[in-house]
Amino acid sequence: MTQTTNLLEKIPGTLSEEFFETQVETKAVRIERIISKGHSSPKKGWYDQDRNEWVLVLKGAARLGLEDGSEVYMGPGDSLEIPAHVKHKVLWTTPDEETIWLCVHYD
């Protein structure tokens, strides 16, 4: 357990799709790293999740869209709580550098 994992390193060389990596998983919680590079959600798709989610941008930037039409810009250090079943999508992430997200999914 004395082994640290650096979330800003070990970035895949190609990112044709978003990269998902679970850091911790128990019944109650899943902590996940996501790396995007210019990715966004499919135009018609929404994330509609059974669990609450808390997201934090570690690096890069993104714009999220919510079902009510509002948009949220997130840069480094910005965090956002997304309650279960609040539909959301990623509208934009920085195309020229990776956006590294930390996501905590929890009951």
Binding residues vs its own copies (CB under 8 A): 1-9, 23-24, 26-29, 31, 52, 54, 56, 58, 66, 70, 72-74, 76-83, 86, 102, 104, 106-107
CA angle 5, 8, 13 (to 5 degrees): 105
Q: How far is the CB of 28 from its own copies (least distance, A)?
A: 4
Q: How far is the CB of 67 from its own copies (least distance, A)?
A: 11
Q: How many CB atoms lie within 10 A of CB 94?
A: 17
Q: Residue 14 or residue 26: which is nearer to its own copies going by CB?
A: 26
Q: Residue 14 or residue 70: which is nearer to its own copies going by CB?
A: 70
How far apart (Å, rounded) are the C-alpha atoms in residues 103 and 7?
12
Q: How far is the CB of 22 from its own copies (least distance, A)?
A: 12
Structure tokens belonging to residue 21: 């990596």
Q: Residue 34 or residue 66: which is nearer to its own copies going by CB?
A: 66
Half-sphere exposure (CA, 13 Å, Cβ side) for 10?
A: 9
| Residue type, position 1, single letter | M
Structure tokens belonging to residue 85: 């079943």
